[in-house]
Structure 1
Amino acid sequence: MKVTPTSGVAAGLLLLLLTIAACSSPGPEDAASQAGWDKGAMVTAANPHATAAGMEMLRRGGHAVDAAIAAHAVLGLVEPQSSGIGGGAFMLVYQRENGALVMHDGRELAPAGVTADMFMADGEVMGFLEAWQGGIAVGVPGAIALYEDTHKKYGKLPWADLFQPAINLAANGFEVSPRMAGFLPRMASVTRLDENPGTAQYFFPQGQPLQAGHLLKNPEYANTLRRIAAEGKSAFYRGSIAEAIVAATRADPHPGSLGLEDLANYRTVERASVCGPYRQLRVCAGPPPSSGISQIMMLRIYQHLAEDAGTRDEQLAAFVDAQRLVYADRDHFVGDPDHVDVPVRQLVDPSYLDHRAGQRFAPGATPEHGDPEGFAAGRELASSWAADRTEEVPGTSHLSVVDSEGNAVSMTATVEAPFGSSRWVGGFLLNNQMTDFAREYHPDTRPQANAIAASKRPRSSMSPVMVFDESGELFMVSGSPGGNNIPAYVFKSLVAVLDWGMTPAAAVAFPNITARGEKVRVEVNVEPGPEIANALKARGYTVEEREGENSGLHVIVVTDDTLLGAADPRREGTVEYLAREE
């Protein structure tokens, strides 16, 4: 399947939908029958050092997972505001040889000692800033376990080799990027980053925030990675590193309950991907507790609504309303499937989604969730969950990899808010992932699907996704950071490439449009953002004009003879390609 570029970014929504003949949608399991891979390999990640580390692994014959681990270990050093080994991640892995597609869930876990009302005081919810900087915000980190478990299953290169690029950078130093430096003055006014032990000295030497271009060394991180490289994940989840994590978590203010047993008992989970048809393609995404299913849902509803959309503005309304309907369902039904019954099969059922498309809300109305279980049963059923509009703050990163054998990784990783909980251990930051749970709790009402519970994973907006063509071959890899806006960002990348005929670069650069709840956010500092905002206003939508969106889309598209990649221009990412003959 070829990618047909448009004449420019602004042309995307000015064109009518491409006419694509409907046909059957074979799953990725059919890919094993295809010919050998001749497209080369590619890495796209949020920092040039990370991209280079991933490519080093691919040049040495490594698997896409090897590249992803090496790249992310570097991201934790050079982009600590977004992700790191003190946080968690979802890794969607595709094996071309047998067509297997699995999401490895390395999401953080709630400690055993948490309570449903831990963020409540005198009947009121603790403010986000207060909760964010408290020890109670720290969940059990999952990244290192994810590294080891996926490497054991897929890795081709020696375990220790994957950490060498990050160790070298940490020991020898790297230049502080403008993005990291730009965050620091703002963090000093709202967090404890400039006060806490370790973070104050590292990010604010002599009391001043690091400047872009400063050569920064992190010998603590180098030593932590050397231990992990030598001893495996046990070096992180047991012994002195684990003890330091517990001590940092239990420090004031608002000390948490995380203990050594929580760390020692952490396990990743292998979850089957969720797939659905989109025209002649097949879209596969991470299941709950990720929000990957939102991509399948949005695309189907958009397809239904756009069928009768003859003008650009009608297509735009379809794009917005698909988001509004799916966010309402996602917010209500998605949680940790090991703790709550998430009706995934019903939510992605094409019949339900076509029915849901008929429930469009007026532009100024508040969207409400649907009833997928009642629809499947042919009657109305009352939901067992309470309403939930939990906000996730952007502090996340995404990377996409295709290796020289056609295997692929879509990995989204996070420490939750910028710089996580601002708590420092062994050269890295601990997450504040507990604030991704529904923090409001009232004992006399129904709980939310995403309510706090011991050993539960919080719902995540992270949405790693892959698309397969009519032959079952890999066609596209995508994902993004951005907190609650992630489903909208990823949806934009898919529609822009699959329907609007854009190149990956044009797709990721196109203005972000997020429609969750009553308002529609439109990025107006990117063309044709102002035109889009005005068109939506004219149709009655409540539009919030925005600048400085936090997307970080990293996309790879497979063409007939090569790979096309894109890194979001809103961040500092890069793309590197390895031709087959190399």
Structure 2
Amino acid sequence: MSASRPLLLALALALGGAPAFAAPAPEAASGWTAKQAVHRREYMVVAAHPLAVAAGQAMLARGGSAVDAAIATQLVLNLVEPQSSGLGGGAFLLHWDAGRRTLSTLDGRETAPAAVDERLFLDADGQPLGFMAAVIGGRSVGVPGTPRLLEAAHRRWGRLPWAELFVPAIRLAREGFIVTPRLAGAIAAAGDFGNAAAQAYFHHADGTPLRAGERLVNAPLAATLEHLAAQGADAYYRGEIAADIVRTVQAAANPGRLSAADLAAYTVRERAPVCAPYRRWRVCGMGAPSSGGITLLQMLGMLEHFPPGDGSVDAVHRYTEAGRLAYADRNRYIADPDFVSVPLAGLLDPAYLAARAALIRPERSLGTAAAGTPPGAQAAASGRAADLPSTSQISIVDRDGNAVSMTTTIENGFGSRLLVDGFLLNNELTDFSFVPSVDGVAVANRVEAGKRPRSSMAPTLVFDADGRLSLVLGSPGGSAIINYVAKTLLGVLDCGLDMQQAIDLPNLGSRNGPTELEAGRGLEALGEALRARGHTVRFVEFNSGTHAIRRVGDGWEGGADPRREGIAAGE
């Protein structure tokens, strides 16, 4: 079948002719809402909540930049999607300056406090803690990076006054917003927050969780935002807000080691983008400490040795095998480059990727792939972290063609469950490997003071053969983010789908474990065909939240994931 045919139809035909993709049963948070690609000529905002998108649009309508719109969008997301991102978390931001034709990437990842060491998540017997025992409370809280990241981006690329960007979020926090089905479902699923402030905010006085359709006001967040609007990010990292954060973390039932000095010392890092060719495009992403961009480029570099994906069982098999090989390298080598030597050039070396691609056997799965030895690699042990899917994606293009792809997070749903001054604190330190070494060899992503935990966030920009911006995208989803973004890219670049069709494709892949297929998407026949090739197949409720923009002629085409409540809008 031609690679230009829609993958939905291609996979259906490859598996026997019946349409393979009935709409899935609603998932607990927000279900499935069918969406159409949105076309606009001037600018576009895609994010996880209509109120957040409206805030971003308002900034662009006033002549603001893509960064102005991203800041306003993020601040509203903190209010209306508090379980996923906010002032208590961190983010990675890609910025394209169309006039200067320059790509910049900012690292606003959380950092480990100065007082922690590699035993942070080990019990008295040296055994790893259970995940939720590590998450809830102050132990898991890293130094937040989002407020400082927003300020750094605004100083470089903002046009509107800083305080103006806060107006929509402050108004909504004061007046309240309507709780959506997704937020209500997340609150109900979370159970007891283990923190009096969070429990009271998300529940009624009788202990019952908030319901969809109810109005929620957050006066403490409004006050916090007013301080930030007037005083900049220093109002967060020094003074009363900082003292409140430290007090909350250290007084929690599972206390943490975050200090006022840790907050005051936080800095945003500018990192070099990671870019590589894929067929006739150039794909660019975030470098370490995010593994997202590197692992995505490894997958694409291997898949380029095969014909473009056409939705056949062969194509899905190759895709999942490339994922196994790339995730194996990710787990061994990628961590904070300020602490470990990440063999970036070796991981993306064409000859190395050709050798890795040659390991993909057409008729038999690798099962669990071994990490390779890329040029320049130093000895390291593979480590795993939970890397859970509570994150949000903001994709924006302004009227001058400047673009932002920003993936933002507090890690687990509702982060550490600690609410302070109206926002939730992250549990980002659980993205470190709980085990510091294996057989005497240090794990690259082990806990160390001042270190940034490895992430899978993959904000991505794609450029055509003439160097013009072609795609802006990213997704939440923990360690599955890489597969979500890869699937969407291949849907557009290999299969010629529009932006919404590519996002709608079933999520699938392997993170170097079982082959995971999205449940409720009619993929049972595909699962059986893969099992015949030795795959261990698992059907999973994949709650991606891919938000993407594609250049179409003289305008833009946006798509928002039907699995969440986001929209694409613009002028």
TM-score by length of 2: 0.91
Structure 2 counterpart of 1:98: 100
2:11 and 2:310 in contact (8 A); partners too: no
Amino acid paired to 2:423: F
Q: Which of 120, 123, 129 matches 1:118?
A: 120
Offset at residue 488 of structure 1 (A)? 0.6
Structure 2 counterpart of 1:45: 47
Q: Which of 441, 444, 450 matches 1:455?
A: 450
Structure 2 counterpart of 1:540: 534
Structure 1 counterpart of 2:216: 216
Runs (4+) of structure 1 exceeding 6 A deviation are none
Structure 1 counterpart of 2:409: 414
Structure 1 counterpart of 2:73: 71
The within-5 A match list for 1:159-238 is 159-188=162-191, 192-193=192-193, 195-206=194-205, 207-238=207-238
2:289 and 2:455 in contact (8 A); partners too: yes
Say whether 1:567 aligns with 2:560.
yes
Offset at residue 8 of structure 1 (A)? 7.2
Q: CA 1:384–1:5 in structure 2 vs 1: closer, same or farther (change >3 Å)?
A: closer
What is the rounded CA distance, in whole Å, between the counterparts of 1:14 and 1:110 in structure 2? 50
Q: CA 1:8–1:388 in structure 2 vs 1: closer, same or farther (change >3 Å)?
A: closer
Offset at residue 441 of structure 1 (A)? 2.9
Q: Which of 75, 79, 84 matches 1:82?
A: 84
Amino acid paired to 2:226: R
How many residues are matched? 539
Structure 1 counterpart of 2:23: none
Structure 1 counterpart of 2:305: 304
What is the rounded CA distance, in whole Å, between the counterparts of 1:132 and 1:310 in structure 2? 41
Q: CA 1:6–1:170 in structure 2 vs 1: closer, same or farther (change >3 Å)?
A: farther
User: Secondary structure of the residue that 1:198 maps to in structure 2?
Assistant: helix
User: Secondary structure of the residue that 2:411 maps to in structure 1?
Assistant: coil
Structure 2 counterpart of 1:255: 255
Amino acid paired to 2:530: L
2:418 and 2:425 in contact (8 A); partners too: yes
What is the rounded CA distance, in whole Å, between the counterparts of 1:494 and 1:448 in structure 2? 31
Amino acid paired to 1:92: L
Gaps of 5+ in 1: 16-37, 375-380
Note the alpha carbon deviations across 1:51-103, whole angstroms, 9 max, x for none: 11111111111111111110011111100111111000000111011111111
Amino acid paired to 1:448: V
Structure 1 counterpart of 2:295: 294
Structure 1 counterpart of 2:272: 272
Note the alpha carbon deviations across 1:472-524, whole angstroms, 9 max, x for none: 00000110000110101110010111001111111111110020123011013
User: Secondary structure of the residue that 1:534 maps to in structure 2?
Assistant: helix
Offset at residue 536 of structure 1 (A)? 1.6
Note the alpha carbon deviations across 1:362-421, whole angstroms, 9 max, x for none: 4153111111126xxxxxx7x421121222111111110001000001000000000000
2:4 and 2:494 in contact (8 A); partners too: no
Say whether 1:502 aligns with 2:501.
no
Structure 2 counterpart of 1:323: 323
Say whether 1:484 aligns with 2:485.
no
Q: CA 1:340–1:501 in structure 2 vs 1: closer, same or farther (change >3 Å)?
A: same
Amino acid paired to 1:395: S
The within-5 A match list for 1:137-152 is 137-152=140-155
Comparing 508-517 with 436-445, greater Cα deviation is found at 436-445
2:389 and 2:477 in contact (8 A); partners too: yes
What is the rounded CA distance, in whole Å, between the counterparts of 1:168 and 1:531 in structure 2? 51
What is the rounded CA distance, in whole Å, between the counterparts of 2:271 and 2:82 in structure 1? 27
Amino acid paired to 2:543: N
User: Secondary structure of the residue that 2:305 maps to in structure 1?
Assistant: helix
Comparing 51-60 with 4-13, greater Cα deviation is found at 4-13
Offset at residue 312 of structure 1 (A)? 1.7
1:275 and 1:283 in contact (8 A); partners too: yes
Offset at residue 272 of structure 1 (A)? 1.4
Structure 1 counterpart of 2:513: 518
Comparing 113-122 with 348-357, greater Cα deviation is found at 348-357
Comparing 433-442 with 412-421, greater Cα deviation is found at 433-442
What is the rounded CA distance, in whole Å, between the counterparts of 1:557 and 1:460 in structure 2? 25
Structure 2 counterpart of 1:557: 550
What is the rounded CA distance, in whole Å, between the counterparts of 1:210 and 1:505 in structure 2? 32
Q: CA 1:565–1:12 in structure 2 vs 1: closer, same or farther (change >3 Å)?
A: farther
Structure 1 counterpart of 2:460: 465
Structure 1 counterpart of 2:24: none
Offset at residue 296 of structure 1 (A)? 1.4
Q: Which of 358, 369, 380 matches 1:385?
A: 380
What is the rounded CA distance, in whole Å, between the counterparts of 1:136 and 1:313 in structure 2? 45
1:554 and 1:568 in contact (8 A); partners too: yes
What is the rounded CA distance, in whole Å, between the counterparts of 2:398 and 2:279 in structure 1? 27
2:393 and 2:545 in contact (8 A); partners too: yes
1:6 and 1:12 in contact (8 A); partners too: no
Say whether 1:156 aligns with 2:159.
yes
What is the rounded CA distance, in whole Å, between the counterparts of 2:299 and 2:366 in structure 1? 20
2:284 and 2:461 in contact (8 A); partners too: yes
Comparing 438-447 with 383-392, greater Cα deviation is found at 438-447
Note the alpha carbon deviations across 1:206-246, whole angstroms, 9 max, x for none: 11100001011000000000000000001000001000000
Amino acid paired to 1:352: Y
2:10 and 2:311 in contact (8 A); partners too: no
Q: CA 1:430–1:149 in structure 2 vs 1: closer, same or farther (change >3 Å)?
A: same
Structure 1 counterpart of 2:469: 474
Offset at residue 444 of structure 1 (A)? 6.7
What is the rounded CA distance, in whole Å, between the counterparts of 2:285 and 2:344 in structure 1? 12
Structure 2 counterpart of 1:27: none
1:398 and 1:479 in contact (8 A); partners too: yes
Structure 2 counterpart of 1:35: none
1:9 and 1:502 in contact (8 A); partners too: no
TM-score by length of 1: 0.90
What is the rounded CA distance, in whole Å, between the counterparts of 2:13 and 2:516 in structure 1? 20
User: Secondary structure of the residue that 1:254 maps to in structure 2?
Assistant: coil
Structure 2 counterpart of 1:577: 570
Amino acid paired to 2:163: A
Amino acid paired to 1:143: T
Two-structure CA RMSD over aligned residues (Å): 1.8
What is the rounded CA distance, in whole Å, between the counterparts of 1:58 and 1:397 in structure 2? 20
1:364 and 1:518 in contact (8 A); partners too: no
Structure 2 counterpart of 1:243: 243
Structure 2 counterpart of 1:370: 372
What is the rounded CA distance, in whole Å, between the counterparts of 2:66 and 2:56 in structure 1? 8
Note the alpha carbon deviations across 1:290-344, whole angstroms, 9 max, x for none: 121122111111121337x898221111111111111111111100011111011
Structure 2 counterpart of 1:130: 133
Gaps of 5+ in 2: 15-39
Offset at residue 6 of structure 1 (A)? 4.8
Amino acid paired to 2:387: E
Structure 2 counterpart of 1:26: none
What is the rounded CA distance, in whole Å, between the counterparts of 1:451 and 1:360 in structure 2? 30
Offset at residue 14 of structure 1 (A)? 5.4
Note the alpha carbon deviations across 1:113-136, whole angstroms, 9 max, x for none: 001011111021000010000311
